Structure formats: structure tokens, C-alpha cells
Chains A and B, each alone.
Chain A
Amino acid sequence: MNKGKIVSIHSFRGGTGKSNTTANLAAQVAMTGKRVGVVDTDIQSPGIHVLFGLDETKMGKTMNDFLHGKATIREIGFSIGEHSSGGEGRAKLAGKNLWLFPSSIRGREISQILKEGIDFNLLNEGLQKTITEFDLDYLFIDTHPGLNEETLLSIATSDILIIILRPDNQDLQGTSVTVDIARSLDVPNLLLMVNKALPKYDFVELKKEIEDKFNAPVTGILPLSFDLADNASNDLFSLRFPDHDWSKALRGVAKAVLAVE
């Protein structure tokens, strides 16, 4: 019986704001009182631990060690509710049930998982064990951009796949392939989220057009925001500026995740 849901967050290309979105989504879901875990597998981006204000030198073992039986999941899970600091937004997570599971640190390639022979069942058992041990309601996986084998594993094991795209032709082209793959792998819930949309576009029309193209719900259109860029990785934007349009739209996506049965 698996209680918690695995939510993979993916984008076909880099630069969509995926890690930032994942961190904020996980935080928003945790704020509702849910028990939430985040697996960070996208090592190319600044690293989700930075968004949570965590010092990577304090994080020792990784998800890989756990999957290979070299560590227990308890050793990997890093409590954000207990350690999060240095930010007005992050401070709101104090006492919340939110854990970060670093997958790879200090430059270790995530493709190591494959080289070391992690297969689908091993990954899935590991994720299920993580959910059970921490009694999680949601386990978010921040995946690699593109569709390499490791990302395909994450997608295949997901209960919910959120695809983040920017409103441009290249992202839509790439998303079309990811959507086909997700359907081929029988992912039960496919949600789209548009990020970095220029405010000059008609968001209502945009939502309709993308939904028509992919036959999947667009759970939010988040505006391109200089405020957000300015905040960079310093804090969790949606917690620090809850009234900002970006934050409001993000909460809409969190709501869509929570609404999945």
C-alpha cells in the first residue's frame, strides 16, 4: 500500500526555473501541513539545497548511497523544518514536515546511478521506502532536463508528472515528446505549468492553446518576474512574497497537486 505520491518535476530544456519551482512547490505543500520530501537530482542547476538555505558541506551521504545499501534513508533525509534558516520566507518552514534527500553532491555525476547499476525496481523500492520511513504524503523529484535514462526512470515511477515549459516553440516541441513518453509509460497524472510568461501575452488564451495542443491541464501560468530573478537563490520566493503574482500562480499549481486523488 503506497500512501505517498511521487511527483516528478521535469522540463525538456534547462533554464525553465525548474529547481526554483520544485522548492517553492514542496514548501507550499508542506505549509498546508502535508509531510513532504524532495529528491534533488538536477546537479546542473544551482542546487535545490541552496534554495532551502542548506550548507552542502553539512550533507554527507546521498540518495545513491542509500540505493546501494551503503546508508539508511534516515541518514540521508535532511530536515528543512529543523535546519532551515537565513531568509524571511524560509523561516516560515520552521516546524514543518519537509525533508531534502540529496541525490548527488560535490560534482558526483548522477549518471553514476546507472553506472552503478540502479535499475527501475531498485529506484522504486528506494523511493517507496523513503515514503514509508518518513510517512510522506508527497515525494518531489527534481529531475534532469532532457530525457536521459535516469529521467525516464523518474518519470516511469511517478504518480504525478509536472512538466514546466516556457511559452516558446522550442519548449513546446520538447514538451510534446515528454508528453508522449509520459503517456507511453502510463503516468496517471500529467500536469503542465508555464513559467516565465511575458505579461504582454493573453494568459487565458495561452492556457487554452497549450491545453488543446497536449490534451493535459495547464495548472498555472507564472509570469516572467524580475522580482523573482532579483531574489535569485536567496530565499523561497513564494513564502517571502506571498502576494506576488508569481506566488499566487504557484499556489494554484500546488493546489492542483493536492487535488490529485
Chain B
Amino acid sequence: MKSDVLNQLQKTAIFKNVSDDILAEVAIKASTRKLVKDEVLIRKGEKGDSLFLIHDGWVKIVTVDSKGDELIINKCGPGETIGEMALLDGETRSATVIALTEAEVLELKQDVFEEILKQRSDVPLAIIRSYSERLRFSTTYIEKAIDWSQKTAEGDYSFVEQIQPLVEGAGSNDDKAAQLLSAFFAMVRRVKEREDGLKQQLEKLTFEIDQARRKQEFDEITSTEFYANLKEQAKALRQKRAQG
């Protein structure tokens, strides 16, 4: 079980640059909690003082909409981390987390975490580095999102075809910037489809040519002596031109 935890910690963004021996220590100090279905793990508004790693089972992250109904923001399962920011800022929880199934989570308390920070001076630096990388990544995506928003406003959807594969290949599931871009692309694609649909609703014009009148007018023009001569001369001219 503890090696699983170590594995899981290594994948957590905040610990990305932290050495394995420290993570082993963190793993030892983490406590296990078992949840029954519908048990509340985190309550919105409470002071946040720990991080949870989901080891087994599923939880839902919910908030309440303006009508007072429960609104599920996200669902998290094995390997995913909840509330990691609380370890650093200790802010109150922004949403409620409820077990969807029976679940087992690992809890890392803020005071335990801070103890480790004090003992090892390289850990804060590693964490800063992780966040810095993440911030840089997010900034790049935000810049792109701005650029693409402007293009979309101008009706230029060419980037959707060009850039889509890059986005799909970038970032892990827990990367919110990648998720945003993914949602952005889905949105632009829908907008484009709707716009194409509207274009198809453009009016069609249908014409009717009165063939009898067409023939009559043609005959009137071509029945003159002038026209007969002209046709002969034009024919001769074309032949002359063709011969160069």
C-alpha cells in the first residue's frame, strides 16, 4: 500500500520535483481514511488543512447553484488529488466533496507537511519549481486562448484544424489549462457547426428561363442578312486566328 502511495505522490503536480526519499517520508506520515457512500469528506467553507489522495473509489466535487440545487463540478477517482492548494494557502474550501461510492483516501495534514518543509530546505524550492512550471504552462495556454478567441470573433476557424492534435496530446487530465483548451476547442467547433448550419439556411434563388421566348429572340437576331454575313466573316476570322 505505501509503495502505491509513493507512486501516487510522484504523479501529484505539487510533488513533481520533490525527491523520492522525502516522498517516502510523506507517504509514511499520511493517514488512511475510509469513506462510506455519501459521506462528506470536505465541506465548503471549512478551513482547509489537508490534502487527500484518492486511493480507491470515487468522489464528487459539488457546489450549490443559485436555486439551491446540488451542482456537480467534477468527479474524481483513484490516483487523483484533492485540495492540494490547502497545504500551501490554508484557505477555506471552495466546494464540498462527497463520496460517490465506498472510498479510501489518504490524508496528508498541513502541519505534517510543514514539518517536512522545515526539515528539508530543498523541498520548498522543488515545490516552487513545480508551480512555476505549471504557471508557465498555463500562461502559454491562456495566451493561446486569447489569440484564438480573437480569431473566433473574426470568424477565422482555421486554427481548429491546425492545432487540435497538439492540444489533445498535451497535458495530463488534471491539468486544468489543458481542460480549458479542450473545452474551448469543443466550443469553437460547435460554434462553427452552428454557423455552417446557418449558412445553409441562406436563401436559394430559382430561375426559370422562358425557352420559347429565348428561341424567338435568338431567331429574330440571327435571321437578318447582317447576321448571316457577320457569322461568315467571324468564322473566317476564327480560322485565320487558329492558323496564327
Docked-complex contact A188 and B214, CB < 8 angstroms: no
CB-CB < 8 A to B205: which residues of A? Answer: 167, 201, 205-206, 209
**Is B1 in the interface zone, CB < 8 Å from A?**
no
Contact of A156 among B202, B208, B234 (CB under 8 A): B234
Expressed in whole angstroms, the Cα–Cα distance for A169 and B202 within the complex equals 19
Q: Are A213 and B207 in contact (CB under 8 A)?
A: yes
Q: Judge if B233 is at the interface, Cβ distance under 8 Å.
A: yes
B244 to A157, Cβ gap below 8 A? no
Expressed in whole angstroms, the Cα–Cα distance for A202 and B244 within the complex equals 43
Interface 9-residue window, one of B52-60, B118-126, B149-157, B222-230: B222-230
B230 adjacent to A202 (CB under 8 Å): no
Q: CA A210 – CA B237 in complex, angstroms?
A: 30
CB pair B204 A202 closer than 8 Å:
yes
Residues of A within 8 A of B202 (CB): 200-202, 205
With both chains docked as a complex, state the minimum distance between the C-beta of A11 and any C-beta of chain B, in angstroms.
15
Interface residues on A, range: 20 to 34
- Which residues of B have CB within 8 Å of A172? 207, 209
- Whether A181 touches B218, Cβ cut-off 8 Å, given contacts A149-B226, A202-B204, is yes
- Using known A-B contacts A172-B209, A184-B231, A209-B205, determine if residue A177 contacts B217 with beta carbons closer than 8 Å: yes
Indicate whether A169 sits within 8 Å of B208 (C-beta atoms), given known contacts A152-B227, A177-B221: yes
For the complex, is B213 an interface residue (Cβ under 8 Å from A)?
yes
A229 at the interface (CB under 8 A from B): no
Say if the beta carbon of B144 comes within 8 Å of chain A. no
A147 and B221: CB pair below 8 A? yes
Contact in complex: A176, B209 (CB < 8 Å) = yes
**A121, B235: Cα distance in complex, Å:** 12
Name the B residues within 8 Å of A1 (CB-CB): 244
Chain A window 169-208, contacts with chain B (Cβ cutoff 8 Å), 1 for yes, 0 for no:
1001100110011001110100000000000111001100
Q: Is the interface of B mostly helix, strand, loop or mixed?
A: helix
User: Is A57 interfacial (CB-CB < 8 Å)?
Assistant: no
B233 cross-chain contacts in A, Cβ below 8 A: 119-121, 156
Decide yes or no: A200 and B207 within 8 Å by CB, A1-B244, A153-B230 being known contacts.
Answer: no
Contact size class for B?
A: 20 to 34
Measured CA separation A212–B131 after assembly (Å): 63
CB-defined contacts of A2 to chain B, threshold 8 Å: 241
Q: Are A157 and B234 in contact (CB under 8 A)?
A: yes
B23 CB to closest chain A CB, in angstroms? 59
> Do B199 and A202 touch across chains, with their CB atoms under 8 A apart?
yes
From B206, B210, B218, B227, give the contact of A180 (CB < 8 A). Answer: B218
Residues facing A in B180-222 (CB within 8 A) are: 199-200, 202-210, 213-214, 217-218, 221-222
* A185 and B231 contacting across the interface, CB-CB below 8 Å: yes
Instruction: Decide yes or no whether B67 CB sits under 8 A from chain A.
Output: no
CB of A77, distance to nearest CB on chain B (Å): 23
Are the C-beta atoms of B222 and A188 separated by less than 8 Å?
A: no
Is B234's CB under 8 angstroms from A186's CB? yes
A173 to B234, Cβ gap below 8 A? no
Q: Which residues of B contact A72 (CB under 8 A)?
A: none
Write out the residue numbers on chain A whose beta carbons fall within 8 Å of the beta carbon of B203: 200-202
Q: Tell whether, in the assembled complex, residue B237 and residue A173 are in contact, meaning their CB atoms are under 8 Å apart.
A: no
Q: Is B238 an interface residue (CB 8 A)?
A: yes
Interface flag for A124 (CB, 8 Å): yes
Taking the closest CB of chain B, its distance from the CB of A55, in whole angstroms, is: 36
| B230 adjacent to A169 (CB under 8 Å) | no
Given known pairs A200-B202, A202-B202, A205-B204, the reply for A188 and B221 (CB within 8 Å) is: no
By a beta-carbon cutoff of 8 Å, the part of chain A in contact with chain B is 1-2, 119-121, 124, 147, 149, 152-153, 156-157, 159, 167, 169, 172-173, 176-177, 180-181, 184-186, 188, 200-202, 205-206, 209-210, 213
| Interchain residue pairs A-B with the least CB separation, the first 5 | A202-B202, A156-B234, A120-B233, A177-B217, A176-B214
Instruction: Identify 5 residue pairs between A and B in the complex whose beta-carbon atoms are under 8 Å apart, listed by A's number.
Output: A1-B244, A120-B237, A156-B237, A157-B237, A186-B234
List 8 additional A-B contacts (Cβ < 8 Å) besides A156-B234, A181-B221, A213-B207.
Answer: A121-B233, A169-B207, A177-B218, A185-B230, A188-B238, A200-B203, A202-B204, A210-B207
